[in-house]
Amino acid sequence: MQLFQAKPIPILMYHQCSPTIFQQQLSWLIDPSRGYVPITLHERIKYFENLVSEPFNETDIILTFDDAFQSFFNDIYPILKRLHISATICVPTNFISSEPNTRCSWNGSPTMTWEELRILKDDGFEIIPHSLSHVSFNAIENDKTKLRNEIIGSRDVLAEKLGDEPAAFFCFPYGAGWGKTIVEEVLAEERLSALRAEYKGEGWNRFRIPRWNISCQPSFADLFEAVSGYSC
């Protein structure tokens, strides 16, 4: 599939961040002197599905939060809600508890419950699959059945649990697996687009949509790089 060379709409990748630092970074982005406007992937779905001639705004920016940590719900969601800003949550579905009144954790931190994810969905947040088990696709790269299960299984669990349409986007665990033919076959069969975890100026298409990792530090350097494409 054709690769596009033009820098794509900046997609920022967060995991966990202190509310104070996130508020500072968000204020930097939306300050009238810069005027970035956070939108969702679905608002530009035609653009990401390779119709790059689709119009978009120079001020478009997309906020993504990986791994569905409870800290997002407690600390970041209230900030975004107050400003009527939406974001995209990437969910490794095995780490969301199926039992009421219990909570799972991933990577040492508690994750959200289905109820919390439903609240976010009902509030206009975009919830997309991030695999079932958060396995690195490098570890299962020759097993199409397992790859399908991780990709399609997590998409279908989300749709069922949230009572939503099947997501049109997938988020690679560890950012691994993009560019592999077998992975792109599964994505193409299911008409899914997929998010990577980095951008170093390579070409991109709907199966390898770049993101910029944003450190939760009192610095705007990562943001500057994401919106401008240059380091400062």
Decide whether 67 or 116 has the Cβ nearer to Zn ion: 67
How far apart are the C-alpha atoms of 182 and 185, rounded to whole Å? 5
Cβ 159 vs Cβ 152: under 8 Å: no
Q: Does 126 bind Zn ion (CB under 5 A)?
A: no
From residue 62, alpha-carbon distances to 66, 83, 142, 226 in Å are: 13, 15, 32, 11
In the complex, the smallest distance separating the C-beta of residue 66 from Zn ion, rounded to whole angstroms, is 4
- Which of 22, 26, 67, 114 is close enough to bind Zn ion by CB under 5 A? 67
Q: How many residues line the site for Zn ion (CB under 5 A)?
A: 2
Decide whether 47 or 129 has the Cβ nearer to Zn ion: 129
Cβ 162 vs Cβ 127: under 8 Å: yes
In the complex, the smallest distance separating the C-beta of residue 175 from Zn ion, rounded to whole angstroms, is 8
In the complex, the smallest distance separating the C-beta of residue 224 from Zn ion, rounded to whole angstroms, is 24
Decide whether 105 or 228 has the Cβ nearer to Zn ion: 105
Per DSSP, the three-state class of 193 is strand
Residue reference for tokens 């978009």: 56
Q: Which stretch binds Zn ion (CB under 5 A): 65-73, 79-87, 140-148, 204-212?
A: 65-73
In the complex, the smallest distance separating the C-beta of residue 176 from Zn ion, rounded to whole angstroms, is 10
- What's the one-letter identity of residue 6? A
In the complex, the smallest distance separating the C-beta of residue 196 from Zn ion, rounded to whole angstroms, is 12
Q: Which tokens belong to 72?
A: 């997002």
E strands in the chain? 11-14, 37-39, 60-66, 88-91, 105-106, 109-110, 126-129, 169-171, 193-195, 212-213
In the complex, the smallest distance separating the C-beta of residue 27 from Zn ion, rounded to whole angstroms, is 26
Q: Which stretch binds Zn ion (CB under 5 A): 45-53, 60-68, 74-82, 224-232?
A: 60-68
Cβ 89 vs Cβ 116: under 8 Å: no
Residue nearest to Zn ion (CB): 66
DSSP string, 77-134: HHHHHHTT---EEEE-GGGS-SSTT---EETTEEB--HHHHHHHHHTT-EEEE--SS-
- Which of 66, 116, 184, 222 is close enough to bind Zn ion by CB under 5 A? 66
Decide whether 15 or 44 has the Cβ nearer to Zn ion: 15
Q: Which stretch binds Zn ion (CB under 5 A): 40-48, 67-75, 182-190, 198-206?
A: 67-75
In the complex, the smallest distance separating the C-beta of residue 130 from Zn ion, rounded to whole angstroms, is 6
Decide whether 67 or 184 has the Cβ nearer to Zn ion: 67
Interface with Zn ion by CB under 5 A: which residues? 66-67
